[in-house]
Amino acid sequence: MRGDGAAAPVKVEVKRWGTIYVRLPTVAEVEAAQTEDAEGDPLTQHALARSAARLICDETGARLFDPDNEDDVDLLAARRWSDLQQVLAAGRDAGN
């Protein structure tokens, strides 16, 4: 845990992307994201890509993609499912 209570980002090797970092979301962040996605947000069609955008970060934990930016979400939605799956799994399982 960092001094602010947040977990340090986790390093993940994605075959076609190289080394990336993933933020470990808090329960509050996951619940807020689920609520946003359920409320008919226009980007809901890319809910998995939005989830990945919330997780992918630099080594300090700063997000590299904006989950509210349609271009960022579309970019991630165009990636291979297996790559996004690695990112999502890391965000879910890394803290175990």
Cα separation, 72 vs 67, in Å, equals 7
pTM beyond 0.85: the answer is no
pLDDT in tens, 7-48: 789 999 998 999 999 998 888 888 887 776 666 555 456 888
Query: Maximum Cα–Cα distance for the chain, whole Å?
Result: 36
Q: What is the CATH number of the domain that holds 59?
A: 3.30.2220
Is 59 within the bounds of a domain?
A: yes
- Under 8 Å CB-to-CB from 89, ≥6 apart: which residues? none
Q: Is residue 62 part of a domain?
A: yes
Structural domains in the chain (count): 1
Q: What is the pLDDT of residues 52-64, one digit of tens each?
A: 999 999 999 999 9
Asked, for residue 1, whether it belongs to a domain, the answer is no
Within a domain: 23: yes
Q: Domain limits at 84?
A: 10-93
Residue 4 forms part of a structural domain: no
Q: Provide the token pair at 20.
A: 């990336």
Residue 13 confidence (pLDDT)? 92
Judge whether 3 lies within some domain.
no
